[in-house]
Amino acid sequence: MAIMESVRNFLGSVDIMQVLSSFIFLIAIIDPFGNIPITISMEKKGVKIYPIRVCIASLIILTTFLFLGEWILLLFGVQIEYFAVAGGFVIFLMALEMILDITIFQNEKLDGSGSIVPLAFPMYAGPGAFTALLSITAEYDIINLVVSVTLNTLALFAVLKGTNWLNKYLGQTSLYILRKFFGIIVLAIACKLMFANLATVFS
């Protein structure tokens, strides 16, 4: 009975709309569909990929940063609203990359292979996801973000397990359109983040 009561209390504290909107936002930033060609390329090169390891590592990294990220900002004397404006601008540029097929950020090539590097970090739980998480903590409750990160991890697991199937049946054109669609969503949320927090910064 105590367990059921705890579950009911937990579910009662979750805002479905916040979970849904942050889930879509984060899945667009993590972009598991857009990274399918990279995953297939790694497998063709003989790199063994373990989806469960990738997902567990990504979940641990993102959850840790979710709880400690604001504390790290405080060490540098930066308020979350200021970071949200700066993060919104970075995410805005990332959205332009997705929509316009241009390269703004130059990614460093990391040595190593396997499920943790470079898949879990920095491809999925990387700077983009960190920026997105910290930026939206000013707008979303932490419990909803924890649920969203967990759901994103499950979605990532499904995509990794079905990489070859998705690539075969959806095709490059469908994945391309999906990337553009997510890019527009990310662009809209980036604008919302910047303008909502600019009012606080200049007040």
Cα–Cα distance measured from residue 185 to residue 188, given in angstroms and rounded to the nearest whole number: 5
Average pLDDT, integer, range 29-47: 78
Could you tell me the residue ranges of all domains in the chain?
Answer: 45-201
Residue 105 scores a pLDDT above 70: no
Residue whose token pair is 């995509």 = 159
Are the CB atoms for 58 and 124 separated by under 8 Å?
A: yes
Whole-structure pTM value: 0.76
What percentage of the chain exceeds 70 in pLDDT?
86
113-168 confidence digits (pLDDT tens): 456 766 787 678 877 788 888 888 878 999 999 999 999 999 999 999 998 888 78
Q: Which residues contact 194 (CB under 8 A, 6 or more apart)?
A: 84, 85, 88, 89, 92
